[in-house]
Structure 1
Amino acid sequence: MCGRMALTLPHDAMVQLFGAAPANDLPDSPRYNICPTQAVGVVTSDGGQRRYRPMRWGLVPHWYKTPTDGPLLINARAETIAEKPAFRSAVRERRCLVPISGFYEWTKDARDNRLPWYIHPKDGGALVLAGIWQDWQRGDESLTTLAIVTCAAGAGLDHIHHREPVSLAPDDWAKWLGEEGKGAAPLMQAAPKDRFEAYRVDPAVNSNRAQGPELIEPLDDGGE
């Protein structure tokens, strides 16, 4: 799954990377502990015109009477995304790219303590996740929200967690955005084994209030 993220790269770099027009209300960057319900910058495409714009992390289906009317849908399972009422329209019509620097996952020790890991591309560049999005409105209140697509973890990460976010190589960005026709389903698979570096980080990140570059620094006795 994916429940916390970091974006340390500047928005200008994201705009240049994707050839997208930036919105004026993008969230601050860098951010080292992005949590569900917070805004993240995502890339969408309308007729081939790309936009880099903010969305609230946690998809709100159109039938919710309030944003908290049901479960917080931060992830969408690739195996069932085309069948679930909350996701099936979005995966056909409203796909987006979610560029981040890395994400966090947790294991537990023998005393049931939660041990955070930071996972990021070995090359240090942007990690581009597959997302879906949905507009929601009731009266004067409106939100644009997203969920991140997940799949069974591959050999590179399955020792940490049984799920991982779907990450997209540059050659796949246009197809996921719908700029190159249909056929995005095969993209919803685990990353190659050698894409990621994963290591233990300070448990301070367990608090959703924690911020700062020290959150992504490896522990001296951390993992691989």
Structure 2
Amino acid sequence: MCGHYSLTTPIDQLLLRLKGPLPQGLAAHYAARPEIAAGEPVLIQRQEHGELQVGLALWGLLPEWQKQPLGSPRPIHARSETVAEKASFRGAWRHRRCLLPADGYREGRGSRCVWVSRRDRQPFWLAGLWDRWIGPDGSEVESCCVLTTRANGLVAPFHPRMPVILPDGLEDAWLQPADGAGLRALEPLLQPAEQGESWQAVPVRVGGRIPPTDRQLALFHS
């Protein structure tokens, strides 16, 4: 998965999906974000202390145990096949899974890039992990990454990987802390879903507008 996605869904529609308290000022200052890049603050749905809540986290995971945060790599992706084994991810995999609302994402290599979205422009969930790093002075950094899996038939012609997209209705199961059998029950959700005719992959020029304009979409479907 490339390090760009979009969230242009109007706030009134987005609030129908989000559960729990919102970050202060979010509703008043929410703005469409046509291209969200790695390292930027992103919106996440999570569960903590048994309560659903909405948070803001930097896209690039900083594990809670990291001693030297400034010089450490900040992965924006975690491979679903090895997430339970890697030290950077396994704690968050058990206890701090999250969801990132999106309505499109960029995928591809070199000049062969596409913008992947639902044809009806509705938002969907990117499955992710989050963590909270606390410094010696008590400062906190909340961060996240997106889980990836092998590409399905729609994305495979452009890139071998794609984000894990969680089907609607499984949010509570995904966010609930789990171990052992509970985690194994989540493994089928990490497989690439065949997205069929309800999804589209529209060619985009590197550096071009994301999401594509209505005119570009019309030309693609003509």
TM-score (norm 1): 0.84
Task: Classify the secondary structure of the residue corresponding to 1:106.
Answer: strand
Percent identity between matched residues is: 29
Distance 2:124 2:57 in 1: 18
Q: Is the 8 Å Cα contact of residues 105 and 161 (structure 1) preserved in structure 2?
A: yes
Task: Classify the secondary structure of the residue corresponding to 2:38.
Answer: coil
Segment drifting more, 18-27 vs 47-56:
18-27
Structure 1 residue 185 displacement after superposition: 2.1
After superposition, the CA RMSD in angstroms is 2.5
Task: Classify the secondary structure of the residue corresponding to 1:133.
Answer: strand
Change over 3 Å in CA distance of 1:74–1:21 after alignment to 2: same
2:163 to 162, 165, 171: 165
Aligned partner of 2:202: which letter?
Y
Structure 1 residue 48 displacement after superposition: 5.0
1:79 to 81, 95, 98: 81
Distance 1:70 1:123 in 2: 40
Q: Is the 8 Å Cα contact of residues 44 and 56 (structure 2) preserved in structure 1?
A: yes
**Deviations 1:67-103 (Å, cap 9, x if unpaired)?**
3322221000000000000000101000111111111
Q: Is the 8 Å Cα contact of residues 7 and 101 (structure 1) preserved in structure 2?
A: yes
Q: Which residue of 1 aligns with 2:141?
A: 143
Q: Which residue of 2 aligns with 1:134?
A: 131
Change over 3 Å in CA distance of 1:14–1:179 after alignment to 2: farther
Aligned partner of 2:99: which letter?
L
Aligned partner of 1:177: which letter?
L
Q: Which residue of 2 aligns with 1:208?
A: none
TM-score (norm 2): 0.84
Distance 1:154 1:118 in 2: 15
Match runs of 1:41-80 below 5 Å = 41-46=43-48, 48-80=50-82
Q: Which residue of 2 aligns with 1:3?
A: 3
Aligned partner of 1:199: which letter?
V
Aligned partner of 1:129: which letter?
L
Task: Classify the secondary structure of the residue corresponding to 2:170.
Answer: helix
**Deviations 1:164-195 (Å, cap 9, x if unpaired)?**
00001112211111179922222111122315
Structure 1 residue 201 displacement after superposition: 2.0
Match runs of 1:194-209 below 5 Å = 194=196, 195-205=198-208
Q: Is the 8 Å Cα contact of residues 2 and 165 (structure 1) preserved in structure 2?
A: no
* Runs of 5+ unmatched residues, structure 1: 109-113, 206-213
Give the total of aligned pairs: 211
